[in-house]
């Protein structure tokens, strides 16, 4: 009685058990019919690799930077920086800039400069000395120059006037051609002059000129100086001057060769750029036959002087 009931129960339960069994489990051997009715997992979709972005040929082919064609837009306004406005009147500087930028007329300027105006303290009779110039023009100028010296014991010893045309050779050097008129010593002489003026390397100011008088006498002069700025206002200036003559000139008390040499050292204080008092020392030597003329006049061919003076321009 029990055995037929157990067989019937097994026949009913076997299909349900087969549907819940995982056919992939080890030890499980399913029939084809059971495998056909077994649940299956949904099919998996294989992930496709991401495609690399293709370069934008429309952007790569466009010119950039200086390869672009020039445009027609208005240029930006020019940015100006005017350091000179800190020291000079803005209206005057603006007018000068407008004149300089004008293609119609070249700007013209002028200046009066006093390089030396000093009193000299010497052993014996004190002396004085001056040197200055005035010019007008632009790059090329007309220059009028005056220089001389004397002693408090008598009249002016040496004085001369020059009028030259200065033409720029380059940004640093000018060629100067003109005339020189000696006032003292007598007899007065008139000279034709030719020379150069400019700035040598290491900022040495140089002036060199040769003179031919109306009597055929040839002389020459070399001047050089250097401004060493110690502070914003104190400037130390070494200075040297050499005078030469190609022949003896008894009327002017000059011998052939090196006539005179002057070496000076001056320290100035620039109250403003245009006005600067100074103090210093100066040594002068008369050489060769010129020294004999100086001794014959009762003076020493060698002199040392303490100087005090003013340097200015306007």
Map out the domains of the chain with their CATH numbers: 109-313 (2.40.160.40)
Q: Per residue in 16-75, pLDDT tens?
A: 554 555 544 444 444 445 445 555 555 555 555 555 555 555 556 788 878 888 878 887
Which of 28-32, 132-136, 195-199, 208-212 is predicted with the least confidence, judged by mean pLDDT?
28-32
All residues at 6 or more sequence positions from 76 whose CB lies less than 8 Å from its CB, including other chains: none
Which residue has 């029939």 as its token pair?
A: 31
CA-CA distance, 36 to 278, in Å (whole number)? 121
How far from 160 is each of 89, 145, 260, CA to CA, in Å? 36, 8, 16
Over 70: is that where the pLDDT of 185 sits?
A: yes
User: C-alpha angle with apex 256: 250 to 257, nearest 5 degrees?
Assistant: 150
Degrees (nearest 5) of the Cα angle 141, 145, 148? 170
Range of lowest pLDDT (39-48, 85-94, 163-172, 234-243): 39-48
pLDDT of residue 103: 60
* Preceding peptide of 61 cis, ω within 30°: no
């Amino acid at each position: 009685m029990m055995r037929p009931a157990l067989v019937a129960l097994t026949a009913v339960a076997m299909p349900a058990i087969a549907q819940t069994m995982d056919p992939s489990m080890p030890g499980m051997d399913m029939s084809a019919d059971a495998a056909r009715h077994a649940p299956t997992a949904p099919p998996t979709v294989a992930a496709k690799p991401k495609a690399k972005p293709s370069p934008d040929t429309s952007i790569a082919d466009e010119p950039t930077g200086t390869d672009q064609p020039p445009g027609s837009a208005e240029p930006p306004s020019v940015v100006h920086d005017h350091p000179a406005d800190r020291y000079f009147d803005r209206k005057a500087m603006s007018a000068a800039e407008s004149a300089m930028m004008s293609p119609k007329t070249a700007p013209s300027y002028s200046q009066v400069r006093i390089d030396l105006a000093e009193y000299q303290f010497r052993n014996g009779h004190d002396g004085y000395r001056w040197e200055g110039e005035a010019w007008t023009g632009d790059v090329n100028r007309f220059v009028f120059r005056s220089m001389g010296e004397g002693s408090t014991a008598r009249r002016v010893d040496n004085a001369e006037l020059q009028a030259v045309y200065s033409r720029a050779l380059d940004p640093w050097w000018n060629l100067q051609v003109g005339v020189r008129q000696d006032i003292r010593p007598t007899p007065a002489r008139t000279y034709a002059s030719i020379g150069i003026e400019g700035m040598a390397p290491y900022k040495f100011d140089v002036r060199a000129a040769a003179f031919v008088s109306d009597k055929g006498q040839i002389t020459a002069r070399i001047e050089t100086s250097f401004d060493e700025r110690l502070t914003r206002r104190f400037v130390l200036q070494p200075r040297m001057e050499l005078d030469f003559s190609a022949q003896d000139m008894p009327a002017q008390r000059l011998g052939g060769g090196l006539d005179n040499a002057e070496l000076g050292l001056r320290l100035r204080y620039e109250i403003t750029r245009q006005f600067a008092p100074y103090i210093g020392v100066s040594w002068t030597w008369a050489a060769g036959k010129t020294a004999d003329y100086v001794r014959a006049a009762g003076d020493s061919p060698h002199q040392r002087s303490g100087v005090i003076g003013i340097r200015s321009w306007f």
